[in-house]
Amino acid sequence: MRITKLGHACVRLQHDGATVVLDPGVFTDAGAVDGADAVLITHEHPDHYLPDHLRATDARIFTIDAVAARIREDAPELLDRVTVVAPGESFEAAGLPVRAVGELHAVIHSELPRFHNSGYVIGLGSEKVFHPGDALTGPGEQVDVLLVPVSAPWMRASEGIDFAREVRAPRNVAIHDRVYSDAGLGIVDTHMFTFLPKEGLSYVRLADGDDLT
């Protein structure tokens, strides 16, 4: 198993010859999808979905109906590679088992409409990785690695900590980290290191291009 951080909320998962990329958006370099066998998109916001990244690969695209509708408008030539998945649905992406988790984006403001969002639990051999997208909806099962959001207009640092403690993945990798300055991220990291190790949970924020194996 190899997990590579590729900018903001984008990660590349590799196992047994399969490569799956999740959420390549505007804060992600164009090369993020190089070599991808499948791309998973959690929701339609541009920091998670960018048509140009999808055009740069021949990989299958797995996503929810709301994103498929955007692709139909933005890049209809990609539709023949799109598979729409529903919340709770299990499927295979590049031969790896995946389950869609949750249905709604976290509340940004009470006066704004809720967007749709589904996270994904991906099986990498004996280990499971969970990418929640823009939601703090738990996976409903034990996972080995949580890709935990650490900065967003829709969350407080304390919510990220409590989400990681609720999921209880032994390893936690920071994602969604382009919203704060380096100083702000340093504060969040300090809080994560204060709380998670007390419960036997590890935490790391990888630089772009760095791996977790």
Task: Give the count of domains, the chain.
Answer: 1
pLDDT less than 70: residues of the chain? none
How many C-alpha atoms does 197 have within 13 Å on its Cβ side?
A: 8
- The contacts of residue 129 (CB under 8 Å, 6+ apart) are 1, 3, 13, 121, 122, 143, 144, 145, 146, 147
Please tell me the predicted confidence (pLDDT) of residue 99.
98
Please tell me the predicted confidence (pLDDT) of residue 30.
83
Q: What are phi and psi of 24, to 5 degrees?
A: -75, 110
The residue count of the chain comes to 213
Please tell me the predicted confidence (pLDDT) of residue 85.
98
What is the domain extent for residue 153? Answer: 2-212
151 within 8 A of 184, measured Cβ to Cβ: yes
CATH number at residue 129: 3.60.15.10
